[in-house]
Amino acid sequence: MLDIGCGIKEEDLKSIFNPFFTTRPEGTGLGLAVTHKIIQEHNGKIKVESVWGSGTAFRIYLPLENDNRQM
Ligand SMILES: Nc1ncnc2c1ncn2[C@@H]1O[C@H](COP(=O)(O)OP(=O)(O)OP(=O)(O)O)[C@@H](O)[C@H]1O
Ligand SMILES: [Mg+2]
């Protein structure tokens, strides 16, 4: 389900996980970079679906313990 935010512009999608990338006046741009790093450390994945003007959904996939399959 999409959130009730403003959505993310197509051109910004490739940058949102980069440290210090922000479009918010008071943003640090670290939220998603840190989130991405933590999920990577757990051998997981994060996927984003966003419709500009409508909203955004982030999906997080984490492997089960002792499950070595590649996600
Ligand atoms: N739920 C969302 N809806 C719309 N845009 C988002 C959403 N989450 C992130 N973004 C976009 O990705 C950018 C980077 O997000 P990130 O969380 O890394 O930093 P931030 O929210 O700008 O700052 P901070 O981490 O300090 O809260 C945001 O500036 C915004 O453009
Ligand atoms: Mg944030």
Q: Give me the tens of pLDDT residue by residue for the chain, a chain 71 residues long.
A: 999 999 999 999 999 999 999 999 999 999 999 999 999 999 999 999 999 999 999 999 999 976 666 66
Task: Give me ligand 2 centre to Cα 34, in Å.
Answer: 10
Mutate to test the pocket of ligand 1, among 4, 15, 22, 49 (most ligand atoms within 8 A of CB): 22
> Token pair 């909203």 is at which residue?
55
Q: Are 49 and 33 in contact (CB under 8 A)?
A: no
Provide φ and ψ at 10, rounded to 5°: -50, -45
Predicted TM-score (pTM) of the model is 0.91
**Residue 49 contacts residue 3 (beta carbons within 8 Å):** no
